[in-house]
A and B are shown apart, each in its own frame.
Chain A
C-alpha cells in the first residue's frame, strides 16, 4: 500500500498490484477514534474561492472504455474566484469515491471517510466573480479523481483563474455521474496493453476539446472566461495528456506536464506553444524515463524543464497532504508535503501568469535562493 508513494510511476502501481496479491489489511486494531481528517493548505491568492460541479454529455462519440455506452459522460469540477467569503465548504469527494479510490490503491488503514472528510477551502456553489478570466484545464493521474489536485486548483482560483478539473470517466477508480451511478476504472483493464497509453492521452485530448466547447459557448456563464487565454496542467498521464490536447486543439495555448511520461506523437515540425515539464528526480535528462528527452527536442517555443530535488511522483498532488492521516508513511528524504504543495503552486502559477496574463515572472528565468529545490534542466541537472 505504500507503493502509492514509493513508486515513481503512477501507472506502475497498477501493474504491480495486478501481479501480486493485494496488500492485506493491517491486523492491528483500528484506533478507538477515527483520525481527524486533513486540512488542505489555504489558497495564497487574493480571492475567496467557489466551486461547482458540472455533468456534461458528449453525444458525438462513444465512451472509449464502456463498449455499451454510445455517449461520453464527463464530470467537470470548476474552481473560480468568488465574492463570497463565508458558506459551506465543498466536500473533498464523496465517501463512496474515497472508498473506491483507497481500496483500488490498496490502502485500508483508516475509515474510508477519513479521506472524503478532508477539509477544503472552496465555498460550494458560490457565484463566480469576475469577467474575462483565463481558464486552466486540470487533468489528474491515472486511477485518480481530479479531487487529488484540489490544493493546486483552489490556489489558482484564488489568484484569479477559472479552473476546470476533468474526471475522465472510467480512467479513475471512482467518478460519480449525473444520475448518482459511480463509474469505476474500466481503463484499468487494458492499462498494460501496448499502445494503451497512447490511446488514453488521445481520448483525454478529445475530452478536453469537448469541455472547452461547452465552457466557452455563449450560453454558459457569458463573459466569465476569456476563450483566448486557455492552458492545461496535468499530473502523470494527465500531464502527458496536456501535450496531446495541445497538439489536437490550438485553443490550448500553453501546457504543464507534472511528472508524466509522455505518449503523444509530437510532429517533426514541433510544438511551438509554451510548455513546461515539472518533474521529480525520475524525470531528469538521461534518466529512467526517456520520453521527456525525446519530446524536449520537438518543443520549439518557450519551454522549461524543471526538476524538484527530493520530490516524488505524488509531490504535485494532494496525496502527501492527506497521507499522514491515512497512515501512509512518506518516503524517507522526501520534501515535506506542505513544501511540495507550495513549490507546485508557485511554479505552476508563475508559468500561467507569464503565458496567459503576460506578467513578468523572473522565477522562471533561473534558480532562486527562495526555492533551492528547483533545478533548471537540462543545462543545470544531470542524471542523479
Chain B
C-alpha cells in the first residue's frame, strides 16, 4: 500500500508496484480462495465504471474468499459497517428513509448478503441520484471494517492534467507526523507537530523551514491532551482537493508566531532527491546509504553502492538510512537482510489458522561483512519493518532512531473488480523472525534518538551521529 502510494504518479507503475508487493500465492490457493469472486489484474485496468451493488457483492465475497481471515471472520461485521456508512450518507444528504433499517442477519454469509442486497436496492431505488455515491461509501466501509492497514480499495484515482514525472501534489512540506502515519497508526503520533522537510510548492513560497512548529491547522489543534487529532491529515491533501489550508506557526529560534495560508498544488521535486538509493562516503571510512523504498532491484542497488564505496579503501561499517522508507517488496527486504546474515528466517507469512510460510534469507547473496547500523523512524513502514525487525532479531546490526511505523499487516495482493477498480489486501499476515506481531506495534530501536524541532531547525542529525559513534567503538 505504501509503495503504491509513492508510485501513484505513474499509472502503469502503480499496478506493477502493487503486483510486486506480494509473492503470488500457490496456484491452488488462489483458485480456490478468490477464483470465483475476483481475479488478479492482468495488465493495467481499463477505464473505471460506476461502482454498483454487484461490485460491492464481488468485493464482499472476494474478501471472504481470499483475505487473511476471510475464512473465519464474522461476515456480519462487514455488512453492518457497510450499512452504517450507507445510512450516514443518506442522512448527510438530507434523504433519510423510513425503511432504511438493517435486515436481521443470521451468520449465513450468502443468505445475509441476499438480505442486505434486497434492502440496499430498495433504498437506492428511492434515491437514484445518490446511487453511485452510496455504492462508494458502502464498499469503502466494508474494506475499512477489516481494520487492516494493507487493505485498500483504489478507486476514482484522478491525475492532475499537468502532472509530470517526479511532481508531487500537496502543500509542499512534510511534518514529523506524515500522511502514512495518519492513515495507518495515528494513535502513535507524538506532539509537538513540526516541519521536517520543505519540498517546494506553497510551503517554500511561504518561507516555511524545518523545525517550524505547527500549532494550528485551519483553527484546530493538531494534538488535544497529547492525542493526535484528524486535523493533521489536513496537511496532506490529495488531488483534486484544493481548499487552502491555514497554518498557525511558531519559529522557536526567533519566537515569531504567524499564520500562513497554503494552497495545495502540483510542484516539481528535486530529481536527485528522488533517487530510491543514494550513497556517500562519510569520513572516508563509513558507507552511508539512503534507501527510500524497497522497490524492485533496490536491494542489489544498495549492495552495489556499498561495493563501489569500499573499492580501494577499508571501511569501518555501513549506515543504512531507512527513515521515511515506505516499504515495497518483501522479496527485496529478505534479499537485503541476506547481505548481513545467512541461514535464518527473515519473517513468517501466516494464515489465520496459524500455519506459516517461512521467508528465509537468500544465502546466495554475498555477505557484506561490515558492521551495520540502520536508521529508523515512524516513517519506516511495511517491508521496511520486515527488514528492520529481521536485522534486530537476528542480531545482524543495530537500530538507531525511533520506533517504526507499525504498518505491516501483511503483503497486499491486488484483485480486479467488475468496475475496473482494484481491491488489495493481505492473504497472510506478517510475523517477525521470532514469530512476533509487528503490525501496529512497530520495531523499537536499540538506541532511541528522536528528532526534535530544534535539531530539525539546525539541520543536526543526532541519530546519524550516534550511528557513526557506534560503528567506531
CB distance B159 to A290 under 8 Å?
yes
Which B residues, 27 to 50, have Cβ-Cβ distances below 8 Å to chain A? Answer: 44, 47
Determine whether A193 belongs to the interface, using a CB cutoff of 8 Å to chain B: yes
Does A19 reach chain B (CB closer than 8 Å)?
A: yes
Residues of A within 8 A of B47 (CB): 383
Of the candidates B19, B161, B277, the one whose C-beta lies within 8 Å of that of A290 is: B161
**Contact: B164 with A265, CB < 8 Å?**
yes
- A195–B199 Cα distance when bound, in Å, is 14
For A334, list chain B residues within 8 Å (CB).
none
Contact mask B284-304 → A, CB, 8 Å, 1/0? Answer: 000000000001110001001
Q: Flag if A19 contacts B164 (CB, 8 Å).
A: no
Any chain B CB within 8 A of the CB of A189? yes
Indicate whether A194 sits within 8 Å of B16 (C-beta atoms), given known contacts A19-B296, A294-B161. Answer: no
A16-B16, A192-B296 known; A68 and B308 CB under 8 Å? yes
Partner of A288 from the list B44, B297, B304 (CB cut-off 8 Å) is B44
**Interface 9-residue window, one of B127-135, B189-197, B268-276, B464-472:** B268-276
The size class of the interface chain B forms with chain A is: 20 to 34
* B164 contact from A193, A198, A293, Cβ within 8 A: A198
In residues 155-197 of chain A, which contact B (Cβ within 8 Å)? 189-190, 192-197
Residues on A with C-beta less than 8 A from B19 are 19
Q: Does B383 belong to the interface (CB within 8 Å)?
A: no
Question: B159, A193: Cβ atoms under 8 Å?
Answer: no
- A 263-293 binary contact with B (CB < 8 Å = 1; else 0): 1010000000000000000000000101001
Bound complex: CA of A126 vs CA of B297, how far in Å?
Answer: 44
Pick the residue among A12, A67, A263, A383 that contacts B165 (CB under 8 A): A263
Chain A residues with CB under 8 A of B163: 294
Which stretch in B4-12, B172-180, B374-382 binds the other chain?
B4-12
Contact size range, A: 20 to 34
* 8 A Cβ contacts from B145-167 to A: 159, 161-166
Q: Is A258 an interface residue (CB 8 A)?
A: no
Q: Which of A9, A12, A189, A198 contacts B297 (CB 8 A)?
A: A189
B456 CB-CB contact with A under 8 Å? no
* Interface contact B274-A194, CB-CB below 8 Å: yes
27 contacts between A and B (CB under 8 A): A15-B12, A15-B296, A16-B16, A19-B20, A19-B329, A67-B308, A189-B297, A192-B7, A192-B13, A192-B17, A193-B274, A194-B10, A194-B165, A194-B269, A195-B275, A196-B166, A196-B271, A198-B164, A198-B165, A198-B166, A198-B271, A263-B164, A263-B165, A288-B44, A290-B161, A293-B161, A294-B161
The interface of chain B, by Cβ under 8 A from chain A, is 6-7, 9-13, 16-17, 19-20, 44, 47, 159, 161-166, 268-269, 271, 274-277, 295-297, 301, 304, 308, 329
Taking A198-B271, A263-B164, A290-B161 as given, write out 13 further A-B residue pairs in contact, using a Cβ cutoff of 8 Å, ordered by the A residue number: A190-B276, A190-B277, A192-B17, A192-B276, A193-B276, A193-B295, A194-B7, A194-B165, A195-B275, A196-B165, A197-B165, A199-B271, A290-B159
